[in-house]
Homo-oligomer: A and B are copies of this chain.
Amino acid sequence: MEKSDVVIIGGVAAGPKTAATLARRNGALSITLFQKEDLLSYGSCGLPYFASGDIESFNGLVETSYGIARDADFFENIKGFKAVTGAEVIEINRDEKYIIIKMLKSGETIKHGYDKLVIATGANAIKPPFPVAESSKISSFTRPDDAIAFRKAAQTGQVGKVVIIGGGFIGCEMTEACAGLWGIETVLIERENQIMPFVLDKEMAEIAKREMTRQDIKVLTGAEVQKVELDSDNNPVVYIDGHAPITADYVFLCLGVKPEVTLAKNTGLTIGKTGAIAVNSHLQTSDDNIYAGGDCIENKNKITGQPFFIPMGSLANRHGRVIAENITGNKAEFSGVLGAFLVKVFDTNVGAVGLSQMSAEKAGLKTNAVWGTFPDKPDYYPESQVFVLKLIYDADTKRVLGLQAVGAGDICRRIDSMSALLQQNATLDTLIDFEHGYAPPYSDALDPLHHLAAMAKSGFDFISPLTNDEKDAYLWLDVRETSEFEEAAWPDEMKNRIKNIPLGKLRSRAKELDTGRPILVTCMRGLRSYQAAVILKQSGFDNVHILSGGFEASQQ
Task: Choose one: B419, B432, B445, B454; the contact of A435 (CB below 8 Å).
Answer: B419
The answer to the question of A544 belonging to the interface, with a C-beta cut-off of 8 Å to chain B, is no
A79 at the interface (CB under 8 A from B): yes
Q: Which of B60, B420, B434, B503 contacts A78 (CB 8 A)?
A: B503
| Min C-beta distance of A249 to chain B, whole Å | 26
A379 located at the interface, meaning its Cβ lies under 8 Å from any Cβ of chain B in the complex? yes
A195 within 8 A of B: no
Q: Which residues of B contact A351 (CB under 8 A)?
A: 437
Give the distance to chain B from A402, nearest Cβ to Cβ, in Å. Answer: 13
**A440 close to B (CB within 8 Å):** yes
Given A55-B382, A337-B435, the answer on whether A416 and B417 have CB atoms closer than 8 Å is yes
Give Cα A508 to B412, complex, Å: 43
Residue from B46, B343, B481 in contact with A381 in the complex, judged by beta carbons closer than 8 Å: B46
B317 touches A437 (CB 8 A): no
Q: Is A534 an interface residue (CB 8 A)?
A: yes
Contacts A55-B381, A445-B313 given: A415-B437 contact, CB under 8 Å?
Answer: yes
A539 to B77, CA, bound (A): 13
**Min CB gap A189→B, angstroms:** 22
- Contact present for A342 and B439 (CB under 8 Å): yes
List 20 A-B pairs, Cβ < 8 Å. Answer: A43-B380, A55-B381, A65-B375, A66-B524, A78-B531, A79-B531, A314-B435, A314-B446, A318-B450, A335-B433, A341-B439, A344-B441, A410-B412, A417-B417, A417-B420, A419-B436, A420-B421, A420-B434, A423-B433, A423-B434
* Complex Cα spacing A298 to B408, Å: 38
Is residue A522 contacting chain B, with contact meaning CB distance below 8 A?
Answer: no
Residue in A79, A317, A344, A439 with the greatest tally of chain B CB atoms within 10 Å: A439
Please, which residues of chain B bring their CB within 8 A of the CB of A480?
Answer: 66
B438 engages A341 (CB within 8 Å): yes
A380-B55, A443-B412 as given contacts; A419 in contact with B438, CB under 8 Å: no
Among B342, B525, B535, the residue within 8 A (CB) of A438 is B342
Which residues 406-427 of A sit at the B interface, judged by CB distance below 8 A? Answer: 410, 412-413, 415-421, 423-424
A68 and B504 form a contact (CB under 8 A) = yes
Residue of B nearest to A169 (CB): B439
- Cβ–Cβ < 8 Å partners of A410 in chain B: 410, 412-413
**How many angstroms from the CA of A15 to the CA of B362 in the assembled complex?**
44
**Which of chain B's residues has its CB closest to A54's CB?**
B382
Q: Distance in Å from the Cβ of A30 to the closest Cβ of chain B?
A: 13
Q: Chain B contacts of A79 at CB under 8 A? A: 531
A24 within 8 Å of B (CB atoms): yes
- Assuming the contacts A382-B55, A504-B78, asked whether A45 and B445 have C-beta atoms less than 8 A apart, the reply is yes
A430 within 8 A of B: yes
Interface string of A333-357 (1 = CB under 8 A from B): 0010110111110000101010000
Q: How many A residues are at the interface, by size bracket?
A: 35 or more
Q: Is the CB of A484 within 8 A of B46?
A: no
Q: Is A49 an interface residue (CB 8 A)?
A: yes
Question: How many protomers of this protein does the assembly include?
Answer: 2
Distance from A532 Cβ to chain B, minimum over Cβ atoms (Å): 9
User: Known: A24-B534, A46-B380. Contact between A437 and B419, CB under 8 A?
Assistant: yes
The contact of A77 among B417, B434, B435, B507, by CB within 8 Å, is B507
Q: Does A442 contact B (CB under 8 A)?
A: yes
- Give the residues in chain B near A441, CB-CB below 8 Å: 49, 342, 344
Apart from A74-B504, A314-B435, A416-B447: 17 A-B pairs, beta carbons within 8 A: A24-B531, A24-B534, A45-B445, A60-B380, A61-B380, A66-B481, A78-B506, A80-B507, A313-B438, A316-B445, A341-B439, A342-B442, A353-B437, A410-B410, A417-B420, A419-B434, A420-B434
Q: What B residues does A537 contact at CB under 8 A?
A: 27
- The answer to whether A378 has its CB under 8 Å from any CB of chain B is yes
Contacting B at CB under 8 A, from A29-70, are 43, 45-46, 49, 54-55, 60-61, 63, 65-68
The complex places the Cα of A508 from the Cα of B78 at a distance, in Å, of 10
Q: Name the interface residues of A476-511: CB closer than 8 Å to any CB of B.
A: 480-481, 484, 503-508
Q: How far is the CA of A447 from the CA of B417 in the complex (A)?
A: 13
Q: Report whether B423 and A436 are in contact in the complex, using a CB–CB cutoff of 8 Å.
A: no
Residue of B nearest to A430 (CB): B423
Q: Does A232 contact B (CB under 8 A)?
A: no
| Docked complex Cα distance between A73 and B441 (Å) | 29
A22 to chain B minimum Cβ distance, whole angstroms, is 12
Q: Flag if A353 contacts B440 (CB, 8 Å).
A: no
